[in-house]
Structure 1
């Protein structure tokens, strides 16, 4: 089997599944309880005085 064909089959199956799982993990991380306060604290870091 050619390298391109093998990589193409992998990308069409397992890599796509991995990207979907990663995307769902990022969405779950963003919408978890307490994420808003953490994002607001991170956004205020450049504005803090020394």
Structure 2
């Protein structure tokens, strides 16, 4: 039983150690993409889309 608890503790620390930086990196990449000046016209057009009348 003690071995199972040790494996679970190791798996939990491994997930915290590996996945947290990966998800932070993904979040930073998404924010950088959204704030990149080249994408401004695309996002401005998407923001005006609900206000357009066809």
Q: Which has the higher helix share?
A: 2
Larger gyration radius, structure 1 or structure 2: 2
Deviation above 3 Å: which 4+ runs of structure 1?
A: none
Deviations 1:1-32 (A, max 9, x none): 12xx21x2123211111112112211220122
Unmatched 5+ stretches in structure 1: none
Question: Is 1:36 aligned to residue 50 of structure 2?
Answer: no
Q: Alpha carbon RMSD of aligned pairs, Å?
A: 1.4
Q: TM-score, normalised by structure 1?
A: 0.71
